[in-house]
Amino acid sequence: MAINTNTPVSKTERRVYKRFKNLSVNEEPLPQGDGTIRISPFDDYYIFTFYNEVDNENTPIDLSNVGTIYISFIGENDEIRIPYYTNVQEVDLSQGQVLFRISKDNSKKILKLDNDNFYVSTQMKAEDGAESDESVIYTGKFLSLTDEARQSLTSQIEDLTLQYTKEVAELTDTNTSLRKEIEVLKAKLAQSQLISDNLRSANEKLTNELAKLVAKIPSADAIKVLNEAADAQAQSQKERAERQQQEVLAKNNSSRSRTRRAVTEQDAGRLKKYYL
């Protein structure tokens, strides 16, 4: 005999747990206010690990008995308050770990707020529904993914600008030092050239006098002295030619140094113009 009990039959209830792995296990804990999270226009998951400093060591806070944990975003005219995500494995509240899931709809609301603060808080609830005061355990900042990319680009440009500024300063110092050395060398060269010119003039006079003497009183010794004087005069002319060549090289090096500095300053100028 068939009996109709009118009792609805449903499928057995199943609870599905998601698994998350914390990839930031080696990061240094950030003090109050320094933490930053990135908000996308989609579903986002955030794992936090909270610590207390005990005897100068970071000790995880036991969150297993603090009640409900919330992450809140509070603006002038709107407030988004999201409880911690419980349907998850491998997140240990007793070790200070807590996971939040921010839905796509909440993400869009958060990105429209007029400030960029977030708060993590706890609140106890009694069996009769009475709630304790809510206590904040951490506060930080949030960025949209677009703002993060812009901030990253700005940081890169600032780093490059600083690098170019340092290089320009170093090249300027090097050029200044080289110019001082060149001025010292020019002074020494001018003094040496003056001495050389005087010696050359005296040697020419001596050579002429010797030539006259040889013409009047020919002798092997006089001819030898005359030849030595002529050799000394030729050597003097050779040294003068080498000095002139060195002066040309020094001018060319100075010109190349100025050109390199000008190119570097132009690069820095273009980068600064792009940044502005």
What is the predicted pLDDT for the residue at 254? Answer: 60
* 151 — pLDDT class (breaks 50, 70, 90): low
Q: Per mean pLDDT, which of 82-96, 140-154, 245-259 is the most reliable? A: 82-96
Q: Kindly report which listed range (37-41, 212-216, 256-260) carries the lowest average pLDDT score.
A: 256-260
pLDDT for 13: 45
**In contact, 101 and 44? CB cutoff 8 Å:** yes
Winning range, highest mean pLDDT, from 35-39, 207-211, 264-268: 35-39
Select from 34, 37, 58 the least CA-distant residue to 48. Answer: 37
Given a cut of 70, whether residue 25 has pLDDT beyond it is no
Average pLDDT over residues 268-273: 52
Q: Measured between alpha carbons, how far is 235 from 206 in angstroms, rounded to an integer?
A: 15
Q: pTM above the 0.85 mark?
A: no
Residue 229 has pLDDT above 50, yes or no: yes
List of residues 6+ apart from 18 with CB closer than 8 A: 87, 88, 89
Look up residue 93 and give its DSSP letter.
G
2-11, 90-99, 103-112, 124-133: the lowest-pLDDT one: 2-11
Instruction: Summarize the confidence of residues 55-82 as an average pLDDT.
Output: 92
Q: Using the predicted structure, report yes or no on whether residue 275 has a pLDDT greater than 60.
A: no
pLDDT at 167: 80
Q: Which residue type does 226 have?
A: L
Which is more confidently placed, 172 or 236? 172
Mean pLDDT of 29-53: 89
b/e 104-124 (16+ beta carbons within 10 angstroms → b):
eebbeebbebeebebbbbbee
pLDDT, residue 182, reads 87
Supply the mean pLDDT for the chain: 76
Better-predicted residue by pLDDT, 236 or 75: 75
* pLDDT at residue 3 greater than cutoff 50: no
Higher-pLDDT residue of 165, 216: 165
C-alpha 37/C-alpha 74 separation (Å) is: 15
Average pLDDT over residues 87-108: 89
How much is the pLDDT for 2? 38
| C-beta of residue 72 within 8 angstroms of C-beta of residue 82 | yes
